[in-house]
Structure 1
Amino acid sequence: MVGHHVQLAVLEGEEALFLERLSAPGAIINYTRIAGRLPLHVSSSGLVLLAHGPVALQERILTGTLGYAYCPGYVHEDALGVAAPVRGRQGEVVAALSVIVPNEAGAASVVPVVRTAARGVSRALTARGLPG
């Protein structure tokens, strides 16, 4: 448990479309909102979606990640976004799971938690035979 924000986003054109967000009381600032959009390059979710998107999209904006996006201060200097890919049946990235936590020392400890959670969501999607 990260005690701040957890959100789910999908690729919509050249933006990350945020489908859901759960926030803890007293969580760090977060500019996203449900049904809100951000350019791919300004959020951890967007960067993961971009990195696993079509090559033409990557070439227009940027390339690759290390299996997750780590974005300290991208949207707000006090916030850090970390996102990992959620994969469908064919291994394609269908969504990004991210957390927003304070941008402070030790924040990198959420990286393995986010990656593990994203793998769990991926397994749940494929086990239920859901599209994606």
Structure 2
Amino acid sequence: MSETAAYVWSDGTGLDYINWETGEPGNDTQSCVEMLTNKGTWVDVACTTKQSYLCKTKKIPNKYTTLSPTSKPGRISTGGVVGIVISVMVAVTVLAFLVYTYAFKTRARPSRTSHTQIDGTTIEYSSA
């Protein structure tokens, strides 16, 4: 079938889609068409070719696929919650270590104070 010949839908309405695959329509023995959905182009096929279904698609497919959000806006994802929990646990551990270290160091060192009396003797005071 030539490109100027008329293709029609099964209900008789004209096929106005002209985005043919390169080299299509191919020959006079193939008087039915199918769409290559990955390219959005038409190819002619034998009418005895059986297809399971007919899908509706845009005439010109989008070049870019839009991704739908995996979580609702304003909500923290599971990975975000896990990250926050781990961060808080690390911060509490570091803070506890610093408090323990400071308390241990101040208790470990007894302070010594000395005082010299008038007669020249030195008295040392130790507090533990």
Check whether TM > 0.5: no
Q: TM-score, normalised by structure 1?
A: 0.22
Q: Which has the larger radius of gyration?
A: 2
Q: Which has the higher contact order (CA 8 A, sep 6+)?
A: 1
Q: TM-score, normalised by structure 2?
A: 0.23
Query: Which structure features the higher share of strand residues?
Result: 1
